[in-house]
Amino acid sequence: MCGIVAYIGNKPALPILIKGLRRLEYRGYDSAGVALMCDRKIERLRSVGKIENLEEKTKDSCLSGNIGIAHTRWATHGGVTEENAHPHFSTSGKLVIVHNGIIENYRELREKLKEKFEFKSETDTEVLVNLIESHYDGDLRLAVEKALLHVRGTYGLVAMHSDEPDKLVAARLGSPLVVGIDEDEFYIASDATPMLAYTKKVIFLEDGEVVEISNGKMETFNLKDESVTKCVEEIEWDDEQAEKQGYDHFMLKEIYDQPTVFEDAIRGRINMGDGTAHLGGLNMTDDEMRGIERIILIACGTASYAAMIGKYAFERLAGIPTEVDVASEFRYRDPIVNDKTLVFAISQSGETADTLAAVREAKRKGAFVRGVVNVVGSTIARETDGGSYIHAGPELAVASTKAYTNMVAIMTLYALQFGRLKRITPATGQRLIKALLEIPEKMNSILKQTDEIKKIAEKYKDSRDFMYLGRGINFPVALEGSLKLKEISYIHAEAYPAGEMKHGPIALLSPEFPVFALMTKNQLYEKTRSNIEEVRARDTKVILIANEGDENAKELADDVIYIPPTMELLEPLLNTIPLQIFAYHMAVLLEKDVDRPRNLAKSVTVE
């Protein structure tokens, strides 16, 4: 949700800024802009729509300079217009900022400032830049620090002032900022992706910190103007991992990445001899683990469906009552949490605002709080007291694929670790690990069916409604399949437990309302089969996911996608992949923007 890129060094800034914005496209945006320091004067260009529009404008300009800031905006305050696009100038034209987040008291601040400052946009950011200008007395960092003391809300911002032409100042509260460090040059961005081509050495700003970069030096302060010592970290990802590598879309590449990154997720975390898993980041003693009486899994969107699968694993393997909470609800319902509760916060970005707020609420109430995230150094990773990275690598398509399956993998490993401590035998653990080790090969066999799944998508591309059905551990898979179709093809889709269909949703069924159902061979196979027969009796088209060798599936369905069998707890790792491929081809056939669907952002960093 919105993206910031900034550069200060010896190279021409404009190409770095434009390339950086492209790397942040996955976050979702509706306009873009850039500002450069050119001979003690700040020049700015903005445009509505794609970055290509901004790049086209730069071709006709004489923008040059070694210091600059850039931004992709996702509208919150004010419509999608060039006037509302970032960067925003102060009234004097000397100060310019880019800003992510929401200034909650911007109306109140605007009232106080309107007598001295002229406002040309509808944005809270223009209020913020003039608030900083009102405190400017020759020192940009001090002006930023003083201004932010009057702000309520969230921000990640970068500022530059024409009176201090060799300086950038950045600040963060609730909206992530990363500083990349190379010899005599620095990069600032919303995440590490834009700087991977130049450096892997970074620092992550914490809430309430301000960084000043000038003359090849960087200093960090808090809002009390006290110096803060920062540790330099090294990013594991490389620039090549962030490229499409020949695939038409990032989403397709990331679907195909799943066998490899799944191996990365479980590598070094399983012990076949003892039939257990060991995730060292849990940071709990055996006695503390035995004392856990309840587990809460907190997440949003796709991560919440991974959490629902985790619930089945924890309850079946470890016998611990487990619940799944949508983070935006958990934080407001006064949840019952104590020191015998273990809370997992699950988030690809590690920056999801609602999940982060839920983490803080759970910690305040005394729970053990652990993170399951993908982005190293993200806020949730730093604010929880332990947890695990899912090692999915950069996920640049807005619709999550490989991060989802790796989240399921990590939840399963945690459930196995607790299960071996509390109730299951080594033999049971060994069977589960053996089945886990077979997953990548089985994923690859499903990926080989992409062309067949595309043909099925071609048959249904004109459908405007879909129903997804699954039972037991496959109900969350149905929810995820439905979400993928909605996210990228804009087709209306609903998901239900198959047994719940007859309690109302069956009224929707017709020949124009196809059903996508999961009927793999598990303990609910016969029950699911009966539900599908009810669907067929309504003359409805049926697409089935079934296990290889299940000839009965052909009697029930118009189309069948056959996949390899596995243990019931691991079925979601395989069953989800055909749904991802189907949604992808539906979106491509309908000529949608697969990697950047409308109205969506990769990381929702505002409430």
- Over the stretch 331-365, which tens digit does the pLDDT of each residue have? 788 888 999 999 999 999 888 888 999 999 999 99
Read off the pLDDT of residues 257-282 as tens digits, 9 standing for 90 and up: 999 999 989 988 999 999 999 998 89
Phi, psi of 147 (to 5 degrees): -65, -40
Read off the pLDDT of residues 54-102 as tens digits, 9 standing for 90 and up: 999 888 777 889 999 999 987 777 788 999 999 999 999 999 999 998 8
User: For a pLDDT cut of 70, what percent of the chain falls above it?
Assistant: 97
Residue 596 has pLDDT above 80, yes or no: yes
pLDDT at 339: 93
Q: pLDDT band at residue 240, thresholds of 50, 70 and 90?
A: low
Q: Taking the domain 3-238, which CATH number applies?
A: 3.60.20.10
DSSP 378-424: -HHHHHSS-EEE-------SSS-SHHHHHHHHHHHHHHHHHHHHHT-
Read off the pLDDT of residues 136-150 as tens digits, 9 standing for 90 and up: 999 999 999 999 999
pLDDT at 236: 75
Q: pLDDT band at residue 28, thresholds of 50, 70 and 90?
A: low
Mean pLDDT score, 24-41: 85
The residue among 342, 372, 354 whose CA lies nearest residue 301 is 354
The sign of the dihedral angle between the CA atoms of 173, 178, 183, 185 is negative
Q: Taking the domain 250-447, which CATH number applies?
A: 3.40.50.10490
Q: What is the pTM of this model?
A: 0.74
Read off the pLDDT of residues 585-595 as tens digits, 9 standing for 90 and up: 999 999 999 99
Residue 603 has pLDDT above 70, yes or no: no
Q: Which two tokens stand for residue 183?
A: 């010899």
Phi, psi of 527 (to 5 degrees): -60, -45
Q: pLDDT band at residue 44, thresholds of 50, 70 and 90?
A: very high
What is the CA angle 114-115-117, rounded to 5? 60
The residue among 332, 380, 331, 314 whose CA lies nearest residue 323 is 314
Among the ranges given (100-109, 318-327, 443-452), the one the predictor scored with the smallest mean pLDDT: 100-109
pLDDT at 375: 81
pLDDT at 199: 94
pLDDT at 475: 97
Beta strand 67-73 with 3-8 is antiparallel
* pLDDT, greater one: 386 or 60: 386
- The reply to whether 3-238 and 250-447 are identical in fold is no
Q: Which two tokens stand for residue 328?
A: 């935006």
Domain boundaries, the chain: 3-238, 250-447, 450-589
Q: How far apart are CA 251 and CA 581, in angstroms?
A: 9
Residue 18 has pLDDT above 90, yes or no: yes
pLDDT at 436: 97
Residue 400 has pLDDT above 90, yes or no: yes
In contact, 4 and 158? CB cutoff 8 Å: yes
pLDDT at 444: 96
pLDDT at 562: 97
**Rg of the chain taking only CA atoms, in angstroms:** 25
Q: How far apart are CA 205 and CA 176, in angstroms?
A: 7
Active site residues: 2, 602
What is the CA angle 129-133-138, rounded to 5? 135
Residue 107 has pLDDT above 70, yes or no: yes
Q: pLDDT band at residue 602, thresholds of 50, 70 and 90?
A: low
Q: How many CB atoms lie within 10 A of CB 92?
A: 14
pLDDT at 1: 59
The residue among 513, 504, 519 whose CA lies nearest residue 474 is 519
pLDDT at 26: 67
Distances (CA, A) of 268 to 160, 226, 251: 46, 41, 27
Superfamily of 450-589 according to CATH: Glucose-6-phosphate isomerase like protein; domain 1 (3.40.50.10490)
Read off the pLDDT of residues 167-186 as tens digits, 9 standing for 90 and up: 999 999 878 899 999 988 99
